[in-house]
Structure 1
Amino acid sequence: MSFLVWFEIIAACITYGLGFIGNILSLIIFFSQEEFRHVSTGVLFILMTLSNNIHLWTLITEFLAVFNIYVYSGVVLRCRLNYFIQNLSRTMSTYLAVTITLDRLIRSELPMRSRIICTRQNALKLTVVYLIIFSILYSFWFCPMITLNPITNTCYSGQSPIFSDFISNIYLPVRLIIVCIIPVIIMSLANIRMLFNIRQSRRRVDPRNQIDNTNIPAVSTSIITNGRMTPIDRMLFYMMLISVGTFVVTQIPFNIYSLIRANYETLDMYTHLLVRAILLIWSSIYFGIGFYLYCLASPLFREKFIRVTKKLITFICRLRPA
């Protein structure tokens, strides 16, 4: 095998392996912290991490298929259900990240009403709504025209020109808009607004800054206290910023390439599969790197991780026979 192929294999093993481990550790930390589970932002992070793990699994099965290693043998599981879940979980993770950003924005813009709007029940209800809407949106993946190419043994949708035109000219542009452009715009604007609110709140409580506060939006005392974030909210805010930044960097290339490839087939099939595999690996970084970035950016998250690790080691030591 060529150097590029070996590079992809190593990169995939590292990305997917560390991604699964990171997501599992994140879930352990999330579930072990009562104050985290009792806020809507924490529930949304838990749901997003679960969706990330599901998406990583679908990416692994697709990556292995490039090297003729098939986790699923039947066309229904391999070419229909797997791609349905892959697109559904990608979109769910994306819009859960958007919801996390909006959750924090509402808490800063509407401190009183946020107690009614930003609840765990509403977070779960909205997740169910997302699941229903996006399941309907991606239901076309169960179309019988999606089958296996008898020559290349890859998933194929070219039996019907109408269906191929739908994939190339309607689905991929719509996916780029829904799963990439709209979330990037919403999360970017929301973060800019939140940073502005936090900055204005700190200036307002600073006695050296005597300014007119009538037009400055009030910031929830649960987020800012005496000009400073509470530890749990600081952790959630850093986690949100990291999620947004990583999303922008990792998701745009894959979505743009998918659209270009559908309209301009300048690469042969094998090269296309390799390039797509590379971009899939790059895009999958977003779904598994969160834990490591949270540890780097948030002292409180690191502290909770160390505490949970010590408890786990102590528990394992107690199970060992004397």
Structure 2
Amino acid sequence: MSNSSSLFSVLTPLDLTYISASMDIYLYGYTLVMFIGLIGNICQIITFSQKFMQSLSTGILFLAMSISDTIYILQCLYVVIVYGFKISDRSNYGQTCQFRHFMNYLSTNFSAWMLTTITCDRWIRSRYPIKAKQICRPRIAVYAIIVALTFDFVLNFHLLTPMFGQIAPGVTTNCGANRSYPTYTYFYTYFWPIIVTLSVTIVPACIMIYFLISIAHTIKTRRNRVQPIGSTAANPHERRRAHYLHRQMLILMFATLILFFLTTIPVALFRLTFSIFNIQQSFSFSLLLASIFGLITTINYSLNFYLHSLTSNLFRKQFFHCFPCVITITSRNHNRNLETGNSMQRYVTRAPQGTITQLMQQQLYHNETDLNCTTMT
């Protein structure tokens, strides 16, 4: 108790304001974003788990990324409980800290490289449409997922070792390098932030920007290219379907990339600047920055479903296919509209009303008129 009282006695009113703002962000901001994100990611996993989406390599990659995003959101629950609801951690904090940070870095790395792989998949389909049938297959997508997961596991394995964990006895709100290992402490303090920024943001972003420029150039070139008549006439339905799928997957990719660039790059640049220039901050201000940056990063893993639903017609159709009641209501409305249209057409085109004698007289009159016209000619 004496340590805690002495700690709060040296805090200035500004420090208390920073801490209070951080707690509010963890309590209200994180809770809202996590709730929205969990619902969206569960719906997205259900959508990409459908048989049609599983037949596309891009659909499998999006499914893996959605699962990784969900894992990231779930592990954010810890900071909400500890900082937001102010419930102290009474578990074996050393092991909990190791596992939590490992899953954090693993999911962020994996999601970034899955998005890079999706961009590469679209680039191959745009640049080499003939070879894409052999390269961009569901089995190859599964191999890419295994390679990315293995790479991320090896990169972050040191977080599960005794070199990383609780930084001081009694401190359960923060963890880092174990001071008993000075070499690892130096590595974790000066090199690890740079490695994380490069592997999660800078390198994937540079690769994705290159693929995006190449895709845009390929699409522009094809629009200006004159195709032979025989190539467009051969199986037009299949070509139209392939073009529709490619365009819809490009829309999904662009929506995800925009959210990735808006949320991760500014945070990565700020953290890289603080690490390179070794800018010192107080604990309260560091906590405030961590809460803000963490909230922005969590948004990146929470809004993909809603962006996909707003931008892609194919994604909306596949999502509605998951709910038979929605399909039944839609089909009933469609059938009702068809019946209304048919009844209106019958009303417009039905025969004139009257008795049989009146109809026969009208028919005789028309025949007589036609006969007179024929005689005159």
Coarse TM-score class (shorter-chain normalised): 0.7 to 0.9
User: In the alignment, which residue of structure 1 is the partner of 2:222?
Assistant: 201
1:268: how far off? Answer: 1.5
User: In the alignment, which residue of structure 1 is the partner of 2:138?
Assistant: 120
1:88: how far off? Answer: 0.9
SS in 2 for 1:156: strand
Does 251-260 or 42-51 show the bigger shift?
251-260
Question: Aligned partners of 2:33, 2:223: CA distance in 1, in Å?
Answer: 39
Check conservation: 1:37, 1:43, Cα contact below 8 A: yes
Please tell me whether residue 49 in structure 1 is matched to residue 66 in structure 2. Answer: yes
Aligned length: 299
Please tell me whether residue 83 in structure 1 is matched to residue 80 in structure 2. Answer: no
- Alignment map for 1:63-74 (pairs within 5 Å): 63-67=80-84, 68-69=86-87, 73-74=91-92
Question: Aligned partners of 2:149, 2:96: CA distance in 1, in Å?
Answer: 21
User: In the alignment, which residue of structure 2 is the partner of 1:155?
Assistant: 175
Distance 1:257 1:168, change over 3 A: farther
Gaps of 5+ in 1: 208-220, 315-322
* 1:301 corresponds to which of 304, 309, 315: 315
Question: Aligned partners of 1:191, 1:145: CA distance in 2, in Å?
Answer: 40
* 2:213 corresponds to which of 192, 196, 199: 192
- Alignment map for 1:223-262 (pairs within 5 Å): 225=239, 230-262=243-275
Question: Aligned partners of 2:68, 2:82: CA distance in 1, in Å?
Answer: 22
- Aligned-pair identity (%): 26
1:62: how far off? Answer: 3.5
Does 124-133 or 156-165 show the bigger shift?
156-165
SS in 2 for 1:233: helix
User: In the alignment, which residue of structure 2 is the partner of 1:15?
Assistant: 33
Cα RMSD after superposing both structures: 2.8
Question: Aligned partners of 2:273, 2:170: CA distance in 1, in Å?
Answer: 24
Distance 1:312 1:31, change over 3 A: farther
Distance 1:177 1:147, change over 3 A: closer
Distance 1:229 1:70, change over 3 A: farther
Question: Aligned partners of 2:186, 2:35: CA distance in 1, in Å?
Answer: 36
Higher Rg of the two aligned structures: 2
After TM superposition, the score normalised by the length of structure 1 is 0.83
SS in 2 for 1:230: helix
Cα deviation, 1:222-259, whole Å, max 9, x if unaligned, reads: 9x947x97333222111101111111111123333433
1:269: how far off? Answer: 1.6
1:94: how far off? Answer: 0.6
Question: Aligned partners of 2:158, 2:88: CA distance in 1, in Å?
Answer: 23
Does 282-291 or 151-160 show the bigger shift?
151-160
1:52: how far off? Answer: 0.8
Give the counterpart letter for 1:59 in structure 2.
C
1:86: how far off? Answer: 1.0
Question: Aligned partners of 1:180, 1:75: CA distance in 2, in Å?
Answer: 29
Distance 1:286 1:72, change over 3 A: farther
Please tell me whether residue 170 in structure 1 is matched to residue 186 in structure 2. Answer: no
User: In the alignment, which residue of structure 2 is the partner of 1:103?
Assistant: 121
Does 178-187 or 163-172 show the bigger shift?
163-172
User: In the alignment, which residue of structure 1 is the partner of 2:292?
Assistant: 278
Cα deviation, 1:101-120, whole Å, max 9, x if unaligned, reads: 00010011111211111111
Gaps of 5+ in 2: 1-18, 229-234, 329-377
Whichever structure has more helix as a proportion of its residues is 2
Question: Aligned partners of 2:82, 2:185: CA distance in 1, in Å?
Answer: 22
